[in-house]
Amino acid sequence: MAEIGIDIDQAKSFLDRGQLIGLPTETVYGLAGNAFNESAVLKIFQVKNRPSFDPLIAHTNSLEKVKTFVKDIPDVALDLAEAFWPGPLTLLLPKKKRIPLLLTSGLKTVAVRIPDHPITTELLEKLDYPLAAPSANPFGYVSPTTAHHVQDQLGEAIPYILDGGPCRVGIESTIIGFENNKPVVYRLGGKRIDEIEKLIGTVRIRTNMSSDPTAPGMLKSHYAPVKRVVIGDLEELIPKLNPLKVAVISFQKDYPEVPENHKFILSKTGNIDEAAANLFSAMRKMDKTAANCIVAEYVPEIGLGKAINDRLKRAQA
Ligand code: TXA
Ligand code: MG
């Protein structure tokens, strides 16, 4: 089983030797390895059981370091980077040779992000290579937001997990690419669209639900618990089902007819950010109950609400 700890030098020594570790970011936990080391990158795909057509994100701690492995950064990307890094935003940028094609699944762009978590920043400062790090879950399952989530599923396959506590944001980064220097949002995530648009004007959003492997980041069924997820009006759904056989994820409301251990309220005060931070824990917890299925409801589409609803929709797919 992986050791869980806060020893940055130990984490570094595993990475220096081409091994993988679990590590916290403000969004979700990542499964990290040396992005310049092909065999470490290959291990990431193997441990996650991830198809080779689904490329990884490279993480580092400064724009200077980013410029050593990407080129021709569009001005609008620089504006975004300067305003929102470190933070829950990933940019797709033309890669230099140093980034292995294995990492980008053969694409000419590499996904890059400077995460905002103190322990991981301290680690990245000590490294002279970026970290390839997808979310630390088996392919298709819900992303982990605590070190124990990582331990539960990947603990047998990796030696070490850096423990940074529960993730502050709780859903994955927003992904933006550039087509003819025009920004396109490929994944709704932790950086709110209204904040992005305040800086660079209206952006195109192309997060269609697809089963097309050439549209990475947009696979239809993703972020899914094992149990069937049904989304609808809970007040209508719950009485129709046996309240003892369902697990309920509600936004704010309590359903007293459902037993305590079969329900999760995302935010009792109706706070969207709190709901985002709790979403994946809620899915994991409800997935572990003896219920037949999980029923959930959409949250209001303000702030991170759209990104939360996107995850719920994909969990249902
Ligand atoms: O918040 C996050 O982004 C977390 C933390 C660990 O940083 N990482 C994460 O990685 O969510 P992952 O691998 O689970 O999701 C990255 C997504 C994938 O769906 C992949 O298809 C897409 O980014 N992606 C990566 N490189 C791409 C590229 N060059 N073009 C288009 N999509 C890309
Ligand atoms: Mg993922």
pLDDT tens digits, residue range 92-130? Answer: 999 999 999 999 999 999 999 999 999 999 999 999 999
What is the rounded CA–CA span in Å between residue 58 and residue 29?
14
What is the rounded CA–CA span in Å between residue 97 and residue 122?
26
The b/e string for 114-147 (b: 16+ C-beta within 10 A; e otherwise) is bbbbebbbebbeebebbbbbbbbbeeebbbbbbb
Residues 151 and 9 in one domain: yes
What is the rounded CA–CA span in Å between residue 55 and residue 311?
19
Does ligand 1 come within 6 angstroms of the Cβ of 56? Answer: yes
Per DSSP, the chain holds a count of helices (H) and strands (E) of: 10, 15
> CB-based contacts of 5: which residues, under 8 Å, 6+ apart?
160, 161, 162, 163
Instruction: Give the ligand whose atoms come closest to the C-alpha of residue 223.
Output: 2
Helix (H, G, I), strand (E, B) or coil at 231: strand
Residue 202 located in a structural domain: no
Does ligand 1 come within 6 angstroms of the Cβ of 116? Answer: no
Does ligand 1 come within 6 angstroms of the Cβ of 24? Answer: no
Residues 159 and 252 in one domain: no
Domain that holds residue 276: 228-316
Choose the residue to mutate in 110, 162, 172 for probing ligand 1, maximizing ligand atoms within 8 Å of C-beta: 172
Residue 181 located in a structural domain: no
> Quick one: pLDDT at residue 279?
98
Residue 261 located in a structural domain: yes
Does ligand 1 come within 6 angstroms of the Cβ of 120? Answer: no
What is the rounded CA–CA span in Å between residue 316 and residue 224?
7
Residue 211 located in a structural domain: no
Does ligand 1 come within 6 angstroms of the Cβ of 310? Answer: no
Residues 267 and 140 in one domain: no
* Class of residue 246 by CB neighbours under 10 A (exposed 0-12, middle 13-18, buried 19+): buried
Q: What is the pTM of this model?
A: 0.96
Task: Kindly report the protein residue whose alpha carbon is nearest to atom 24 of ligand 1.
Answer: 55
Residue 26 located in a structural domain: yes
| Rounded distance from Cα 296 to ligand 1 centre (Å) | 25
Choose the residue to mutate in 135, 154, 214 for probing ligand 1, maximizing ligand atoms within 8 Å of C-beta: 135
Residues 117 and 235 in one domain: no
Helix (H, G, I), strand (E, B) or coil at 175: strand
| Rounded distance from Cα 133 to ligand 1 centre (Å) | 8
Residues 48 and 166 in one domain: yes
Residues 20 and 140 in one domain: yes
Residues 64 and 139 in one domain: yes
- Kindly report the CATH number assigned to the domain that includes residue 48: 3.90.870.10
In the listed set 156, 171, 186, which residue is the last one of a domain according to the structure?
171
Does ligand 1 come within 6 angstroms of the Cβ of 258? Answer: no
Residue closest to 80 by CA, chosen among 176, 171, 169: 176
Q: Encoding tokens for residue 56?
A: 């990884």
Does ligand 1 come within 6 angstroms of the Cβ of 134? Answer: yes
| Rounded distance from Cα 13 to ligand 1 centre (Å) | 25
> Quick one: pLDDT at residue 226?
87
Residue 80 located in a structural domain: yes
Does ligand 1 come within 6 angstroms of the Cβ of 90? Answer: yes
Residue 204 located in a structural domain: no
Residues 31 and 129 in one domain: yes
The secondary structure of residue 137, as a DSSP letter, is S
Distance spanning both ends of the chain, measured CA to CA: 32
Residues 46 and 133 in one domain: yes
> Quick one: pLDDT at residue 166?
98
Residues 148 and 244 in one domain: no
> Quick one: pLDDT at residue 243?
78
- Kindly report the CATH number assigned to the domain that includes residue 266: 3.40.50.11030
Residues 239 and 164 in one domain: no
Q: Which atom of ligand 1 is nearest to the CA of 109?
A: 29
Query: Low-confidence residues of the chain, pLDDT below 70?
Result: 209-222
* Phi, psi torsion values for 6, nearest 5 degrees: -125, 25
What is the rounded CA–CA span in Å between residue 233 and residue 282?
18
> Quick one: pLDDT at residue 278?
98
Choose the residue to mutate in 26, 57, 223 for probing ligand 1, maximizing ligand atoms within 8 Å of C-beta: 57
| Rounded distance from Cα 171 to ligand 2 centre (Å) | 10
Instruction: Give the ligand whose atoms come closest to the C-alpha of residue 140.
Output: 2
Q: Which atom of ligand 1 is nearest to the CA of 217?
A: 19
In the listed set 129, 147, 171, which residue is the last one of a domain according to the structure?
171
Strands (E), 139-227: 160-162, 174-179, 182-187, 204-205
Residue closest to 141 by CA, chosen among 315, 316, 294: 315
Does ligand 1 come within 6 angstroms of the Cβ of 92? Answer: yes
Residues 151 and 274 in one domain: no
Residue 188 located in a structural domain: no
Total domain count, the chain: 2
Residue closest to 196 by CA, chosen among 179, 178, 183: 183
Q: Which atom of ligand 1 is nearest to the CA of 31?
A: 6
In the listed set 171, 198, 218, which residue is the last one of a domain according to the structure?
171
Residue closest to 28 by CA, chosen among 285, 278, 288, 295: 278
